Amino acid sequence: MKQKAFILLAVLAVVAAGCMNREQKPAEQSQNISYNDFQKGNTPMNMDTAIEQKDYAKWGKMALKETRQKYPNSKISDYDYDTRKVSPDGTITDYFDFTITQDTNKRLVKVGVMHTEDDKLIDMKFEEIS
């Protein structure tokens, strides 16, 4: 009888511990955002990167608009925020990856959006990766 009570108590402790851990956020969230999530404004928010993600959304929309103009007869199926680099002179470059499909050819296009800290666009560069 003591053994059954001990097993029952152990099972309850494991279940309770699992319920308590449900509320904890993962230490690190992926930066990958699908094109559809981006269009709907559903970007994942991590407390450490919330400000940066809100900031790069503006530049992502601009990069998407320019990519559509540069590849007018193509379908853009994926969007990924890649990274941010800050130069010693204070300029910021946010990099975005787009998957472009034209006819049956798929290619990755990396777009670099260079801007100032006070939201002034400096330059936008496109690089076809594949």
Report the distance separating Cα 71 and Cα 113, nearest Å.
17
Q: Which structure tokens are listed for 14? A: 């494991």
Q: Residue 41: which region, alpha, beta or left (left: phi > 0; alpha: psi -120 to 50)?
A: left
Instruction: Give pLDDT, residue 104.
Output: 87
- Beta strand ranges found along 1-130 (DSSP E): 75-86, 92-102, 105-115, 121-128
Report the distance separating Cα 121 and Cα 51, nearest Å.
19
Instruction: Give pLDDT, residue 79.
Output: 84
Residue carrying the six token digits 């991590």: 46
Structure pTM? 0.59
Express each pLDDT in 39-53 by its tens digit: 445 444 443 455 555
DSSP bridge pairs for 86: 92
**Average confidence (pLDDT) over 6-20:** 48
Per-residue buried b or exposed e for 79-98, using 16+ beta carbons within 10 Å of the residue's own CB: bbbeeeeeeeeeebbbbbbb
Express each pLDDT in 57-88 by its tens digit: 899 999 999 999 999 989 998 888 999 999 99
- Looking at residue 3, its amino acid is Q
In the chain, domain spans: 28-128
Q: What is the CATH number of domain 28-128?
A: 3.10.450.390
Report the distance separating Cα 33 and Cα 96, nearest Å.
10
